[in-house]
Amino acid sequence: MTSQDAFRHADDLGPHKILHVYQPTIGLKGTLVLDNVAIGPAIGGLRMAPDVSTEECFRLARAMTLKNAAAGLRHGGGKSVLYGDPRMPMDEKERLIRAFACALRGEEGYIFGPDMGTDEICMAWVRDEIERATGLPAMLGGIPLDELGATGWGLRHAAEVAATFCDLTLDGARVVVQGFGAVGLHAAKFLKEIGAVVVGAADSRGSICNPDGLDLDSLTALKRAGRSVAEAEEGRSDTPEAVVEIPCDIWIPAARPDVIRADNVDRLDARLVLQGANIPCTEDAEARLHERGILCLPDFIANAGGVICAACEYAGMDREAAFAAISSRIRANTLEVLNAARDGDMLPRQAALVMARRRVLEAMATRRWSVF
């Protein structure tokens, strides 16, 4: 690897450090990207999947730098990934996560949180090894953000503010959720509470559509039983990719990166896209949505509920204080970003980047070595 390859991601914000961890005797392969810790120690989730990459880890770490800054948290951005199937036997998964945590014991600028493929129990294993973990089970004094739906709670409040910018009434609004997991499930539930109707959902194995509305309890039961939403009886099932074409008012990507791209963006039939996942849309796809008049609220504004909750837990706050912080901060940031985008005739992501970068750069100006 040449120096050019090693530093191909480097810019004025970071990344400060990229570490690769390998232990062949147990099949451990992992990566940590510590992007920028000028504001404070990084909080970022541990993602587990068989097809993750250093590229994906860096992009996610940068999203966390921007997200934490935009949310006004005293934390920088980082991310870690483990290469493996999160559905592996539990004892094998525990061994890998504990070993990975031990390998990163000395990286005091990084605090683990749950992400795709990991949960509160995984964070309990990390805490047992090195202490630096948030998103813990309630029995350990944590606020179980996936169980309670912290990110979904934030998406609901982002939707309430964003709806006023695209002349959308949430009572009766049709919602489609791509990725009916911890984030997507709770986003659907919280939006239903204010009158929205979930007409489509998808997971990695299929999609389901019903223009009259889907039974969320039925979908939730299927997922908890390890089955696909496509097995639901009250709708029309299809492939996972078909979820892009389901007509709706609000489309929520809540799974993997780059699900909306140049090759499928024109098939999307929605008025508002709320990015429940990190980096779910490519830059050219977001530009095309803007051209089509579809409002797209970027990830590090819309889905910050989880990390706000994690930061509140790490600071010793309770659930009520954390959920109040989520609603107030996401509502304020969504309003600021969309006002700036409208007044400056720019994409919402551009307006959000200006805001978040300003906060990071202000912190960097106070540090001797800038990014750390």
Residue 290 amino acid letter: H
| CB atoms inside a 10 Å sphere around CB 365 | 9
User: Is 79 one of the catalytic residues?
Assistant: yes
| CB atoms inside a 10 Å sphere around CB 166 | 15
Token look-up 């070993």 returns 99
Q: How far, in Å, CA of 369 to CA of 148, rounded? A: 39
Q: How far, in Å, CA of 281 to CA of 259, rounded? A: 6
Helices (H), the chain: 3-6, 54-70, 90-103, 120-130, 145-148, 150-162, 182-193, 216-224, 283-291, 299-302, 305-314, 319-344, 348-364
Residues in the chain: 372
Question: Are residues 31 and 21 in contact, defined by beta-carbon separation less than 8 angstroms?
Answer: yes
Token look-up 């097995």 returns 231
Angle between helices 150-162 and 305-314 (to 10 degrees): 130
Diameter over CA atoms, the chain: 61
| From 17, 29, 67, 79, active-site residue | 79
Which residues have a catalytic role annotated?
79
